[in-house]
């Protein structure tokens, strides 16, 4: 049944373009001419912006990656004999592995988010007119 539903793209790039197509003729709508941006510049900016947003992959790929990262410390801790660990309980070993794994996964997610924000900030700084236009379109909508 899922295959029969239309595939409607609802990402940042398509939202801005659809808003421009629907409301471009309205008098108070932000225009390309007023912003001193060509359509090619805007399309290039929106494509680059969307590629940065999509750089982490799908939600399923992200969950798989962070799940594997979270399990690696559990596997590593289980490789050591219980006598060589500072605790003597299998339950404690499992809990320590899970806590360390989740902490590492959250740390990696934080680094990825910071890198994505930095790349978006750099893109906006390199294209101030296109960034201002897209922000004006978002505010208008």
Residue of 116, 87, 83, 113 lying closest to 99 (CA atoms): 87
Mean pLDDT of 62-74: 96
The 10s digit of each residue's pLDDT in 112-133 is 999 999 999 999 999 999 999 9
With cut-offs at 50, 70 and 90, classify the pLDDT of residue 42. Answer: very high
pLDDT at 120: 96
pLDDT at 49: 95
Is the confidence at residue 14, as pLDDT, over 80?
yes
pTM of the model: 0.77
In percent, the amount of the chain with pLDDT more than 90 equals 66
The tokens of 97 are what? Answer: 């592995």
Report d(CA 105, CA 114) in Å as an integer.
14
Is the confidence at residue 2, as pLDDT, over 60?
no
Q: Where does residue 132 fall: left (phi above 0), alpha (psi -120 to 50 degrees), or beta otherwise?
A: alpha
The 10s digit of each residue's pLDDT in 47-64 is 999 999 999 889 999 999
Judge contact between 13 and 50, C-beta under 8 A.
yes
Report d(CA 131, CA 137) in Å as an integer.
10
pLDDT at 63: 95
What's 58's DSSP letter? -
Residue 39 CA: distances (Å) to CA of 14, 32, 136: 14, 7, 16
């Amino acid at each position: 049944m899922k295959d029969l539903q239309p595939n409607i793209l609802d990402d940042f790039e398509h939202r801005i373009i659809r808003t421009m197509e629907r409301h471009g003729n309205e008098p108070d709508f932000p225009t390309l001419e007023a912003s001193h941006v060509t359509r090619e510049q805007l399309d290039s900016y929106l494509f680059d912006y969307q590629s940065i947003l999509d750089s982490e992959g799908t939600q399923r790929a992200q969950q798989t990656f962070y799940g594997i990262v979270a399990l690696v410390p559990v596997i590593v801790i289980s490789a050591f004999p219980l006598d060589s660990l500072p605790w003597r309980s299998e339950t404690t070993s499992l809990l320590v592995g899970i806590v360390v794994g989740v902490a590492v996964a959250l740390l990696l997610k934080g680094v990825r988010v910071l890198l994505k924000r930095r790349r978006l900030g750099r893109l906006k700084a390199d294209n101030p007119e296109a960034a201002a236009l897209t922000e004006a379109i978002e505010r208008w909508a």
